[in-house]
Structure formats: structure tokens, C-alpha cells
Amino acid sequence: MQSLDQIARWPVDNAAAVVLSHDEGVIGEYGDQQRVFPLASVTKLLCAYAVLVATEEGAVELDQPAGPEGSTVRHLLAHASGLAFDANRVQTAPERKRIYSSAGYEVLADFLTAETSIDFADYVAESVFAPLSMSASALVGPAGHGAQASAGDLGRFAAELFRPALISPQTFADATSVQFPGLDGILPGYGSQRPNDWGLGFEIRSGKSPHWTGTGNSPRTFGHFGQSGTFLWVDPAAGLACVALTDRDFGDWAKPLWTELSDGILSERRRR
């Protein structure tokens, strides 16, 4: 895809990207598909998916109590538990506000480890990485931001999101639909969003503005971006997915360039 050539002008030393079509698989690549990058919060997608697999296996249930009083696995996945961003500290009761919480994912990881007697990093590797042949991927740090992977691996994960094989259609529909509708909150790097819609691990674009995806991405777009300069989105309306990984932390440099890339990909595909 010619639109991926934009990445050569980004102020980064290294970058890799892959674009997939629902019907055709990989339709564009940029950079070294095997180079491993830290994912930062894109980690949450992989860890959330492992938790969803655990629900399919009966190891845990979405509405099982977990975390602070009144909270469940579902609340933790959807950033609706009331936990603070970076500490296991209650800021409000569940379902009052969308408080983006990396700490909530660490609570989830500890919960799943306790329920399964399997170290969470091993559970992610066995339930997600191994079946999807994501051989370059590993959870080497906290469940909220401690994974690393290649663009090639995340392309295989994006392909799973087009045609889920590891979880049921109903679980996937729940994961990519708004949970606890109407909750306001802060989207890191982009400010207050009213509402700040989220699924089970997946951020839902809805009508958010400003946003890290393209202006042409549909409201149904779901995914995540990471502070290490990474993102993954899937737009089911367009039938496209995009992964981009860099070695420069997210900042003002990324906001216009990520949007331009996503819009370029969508426009190029529409012209075919």
C-alpha cells in the first residue's frame, strides 16, 4: 500500500506496520515484520483476550467478583471498576466513571493466577501467543503495559479479530461492544471524552474527537494505542485492520501522523 510510505517521514528511528483486509489477509507491510517492539498499553488487548479465553474455558466468569468491592472481571476489563490509573486504590464506586486503569489489569492478572494456579504470563503465552503462532511475543512485565511483540505477530492477532477462533462469537461481540454505556472519562493523551466508550479490553471509537485513529474510521472501530508509540485498530465497517509499531514514545508528533496514516489507508482502499 502506497499510504504506508508516509511512515518513512515519521520522526522515529525504527517502525514497522501491517495492514490487513477481512477478505484478503495482509495487503500491505512496512519495515521489519520480525523486529520486536515494546507495546506499552497495546498489551491490554492481548491480556484481555487471554482473560476472555479463560471465560470460555470456565476458569473465570465475566460477572465474577474481582477487584474492589462491587467490581467484577467485566468491570476491570472495561475500566469501570473505580480503580485509579496506576495504583490499586479505589477512586470511586464501580460504574460511576470510566477511569482508565493499568492497575486494574494487574489486579486481573493476579486474580486469574489465583483462579488457575498458572502464572499469568504463561497463561497469555499458552492461550493466545501459542495458538496464533505469535512466536516473537511475550509478556515480560505488568499486564497493563509489559508485553513486547513484532508487527508480524500483531498482524496474526488482528487476523484473529476478523475471524475469532479462540473465543465464541458472543464473547467477541461483547468484547467489541460498549460495556456500561454512558460513562465519561479521560482518554489518555486526548482528554475528556463524553462518553468514553470501552469494550472488554478494546477501546471503542464511537464518536470520540479528537482520537488517535483516522477521521474516516467508523464508530465501530476498536483497538488500542500505547505510550511506546504503538497502535492497533480494526474497523469492521471498512473490513480493514492496521498495526503500527515505533521506537519513539507517543506524543504530539504522533497525533497528526497517525490520523493521516489511517485516513490514507482507508482512502486508498476505497479507491480500489
String of DSSP letters for 131-190: TTT-TT-EE-S-TTT-EEEEHHHHHHHHHHHHS-SSS-HHHHHHHTS-SSTT--EEETTT
Is residue 221 predicted with pLDDT exceeding 80? yes
Task: Write down the pLDDT at residue 215.
Answer: 97
Residue 29 reports pLDDT greater than 80: yes
- The percentage of the chain sitting over the pLDDT mark of 70, rounded to a whole number, equals 100
Residue found by looking up cell 477481512 in the block = 22
Average pLDDT of the segment spanning 116-136: 98
pLDDT of 99 = 98
pLDDT (0 to 100) of residue 222: 98
Alpha-carbon span 162 to 155, nearest angstrom: 11
pLDDT at 271: 81
Burial class from Cβ neighbours inside 10 Å (0-12, 13-18, 19+) for residue 255 reads middle
Task: Please state whether 212 falls in left (phi above 0), alpha (psi between -120 and 50) or beta.
Answer: alpha
Could you report the per-residue pLDDT of 60-115, keeping only the tens digit for each? Answer: 999 999 999 999 999 999 999 999 999 999 999 999 999 999 999 999 999 999 99
> Residue 272: what pLDDT?
75
Report, as an integer, the average pLDDT of 37-55.
98
pLDDT in tens, 167-211: 999 999 999 999 999 999 999 999 999 999 999 999 999 999 999
In this prediction, residue 183 carries a pLDDT of 98
Query: What is 2-271's CATH topology?
Result: Beta-lactamase (3.40.710)
